[in-house]
Amino acid sequence: MSDPRLSVVIPVFNEQLVLPMLAARLFPALDALGRTYEVLFVDDGSSDGSAELLRRIQRDRPDVVRVLLLRFNVGQHLAILAAFERARGQQVVTLDADLQNPPEEIARVVAELDAGHDYVGTVRQLRQDVWWRRAASALINGIRDRITPIRITDQGCMLRGYGRNVVDAVNACDESSTFVPALAYGFATRRTEIPVAHEERAAGTTKYSLYRLVRLNFDLMTGFSLVPLQMVSLIGLLVSVASLVLVVVLALRRLFIGPEVQGLFTLFGIITFLMGVMLFALGIVGEYIGRIYQQVRRRPRYMVVESTVDAGSQGAGAPPP
């Protein structure tokens, strides 16, 4: 397994309830592919029994399983990047741990990679999520489609396949917050999308609160588009021109007709409106400055506590501490 053809990357965050079910379905599905493979589990700083379960899964299938435990929770996308840096396959497939995408569908993704595609996107059929998640996704997909050059039908589906060239390019990036499918999309040369089945979470609960979903989509919008920033500058320009005209009109009025008092409240209204616009602009600018701040600090994006992946770092086969 030192040179597997396929790497399957699975981020895990507090998934102790689903991991046994996942293992029961994943390995038969992958064995059936009839090719060499490795499964890279990344434990994203779980506080439940996930890490112990992963160690057990690794002991059961040491021929194909590699486990990476991260010290603290860095989020699904950075966890995937940690695995990408260690994946050895010519083909890399990402999968969620919660069985929302059936592992049996990996075969169809791999078939597209075999056909020469280096990016295989997926579209969830009959998506099994709560209505507000679906509505929010539709809205976000629409906005992203307008303001970024990324054409992904269903950005939320994480069962995806990538060619080695794309993974290498993603690994060369040094971003501290990102959205893996969008980043990979930009590097791919032969893209395709296929429909895949979607099921309800097999067990456990979603790891995305509304707040984390909003954060994730801010990452996507500001990470891949300058349009929000540019739009604010444009609005700022228009508003400044309009208020300049207003000031001139008021000044002339004062000269020729005399000071106006009754219009005072209109002025208040205008000023508060301007203040609102400025605050909004400040918020968006802050998004970008936040990114620059993260980038210049150059903190490690994650820290490995334990790994059966990096040869030598702990001594081969060292027992977990």
11 binds ligand UDP (CB under 6 A): yes
Q: Which whole-number Å values give the CA distances from 150 to 141, 143, 197, in the listed order?
A: 10, 11, 23
Which segments of 61-179 does DSSP mark as H helices, in order?
Answer: 76-84, 106-114, 131-147, 164-172
Count of residues binding ligand UDP (CB under 6 A)?
Answer: 16
Q: Of the candidates 127, 128, 123, which has an alpha carbon nearest to the alpha carbon of residue 154?
A: 123
The set of residues, in sequence order, having a beta carbon less than 8 Å from that of 151 and lying 6+ positions away, is 145, 185
Q: Based on the shown chain and the rule CB under 5 A, indicate whether residue 44 belongs to the binding site for Mg ion.
A: no
Is residue 44 a contact residue for ligand UDP (CB under 6 A)?
Answer: yes
Q: Which span sits near ligand UDP by CB under 6 A: 60-68, 95-103, 261-269, 296-304?
A: 95-103
9 touches ligand UDP (CB under 6 A):
no
Site membership for ligand UDP, residue 208 (CB under 6 A) = yes
Min separation Cβ 205 and ligand UDP, Å: 7
Q: How far is the CB of 206 from ligand UDP (least distance, A)?
A: 3
Exposed, middle or buried, 29 (CB in 10 Å: 0-12/13-18/19+)?
A: middle
With respect to ligand UDP, which residue has the nearer C-beta, 67 or 232?
67
Q: According to the binding rule CB under 6 A, does residue 155 interact with ligand UDP?
A: no
Q: Which of 21/285 has CB closer to ligand UDP?
A: 21
98 binds ligand UDP (CB under 6 A): yes
Note whether 120 and 190 are within 8 A (CB). Answer: no
Sign of CA dihedral 34, 35, 36, 41: negative
3-state secondary structure of 8: strand
SS3 24: helix
Position among 38, 44, 98, 105 found at the interface with Mg ion (CB under 5 A): 98
Question: Which range of residues in 68-76, 139-147, 167-175, 268-276 is near ligand UDP by CB under 6 A?
Answer: 68-76
Q: Token pair for residue 159?
A: 């069962």
The one of Mg ion, ligand UDP, none whose footprint includes residue 79, by CB under 5 to 8 A per kind, is ligand UDP
Q: Which positions touch ligand UDP (CB under 6 A)?
A: 11-13, 15, 44, 73, 75-76, 79, 96-98, 100, 206-208
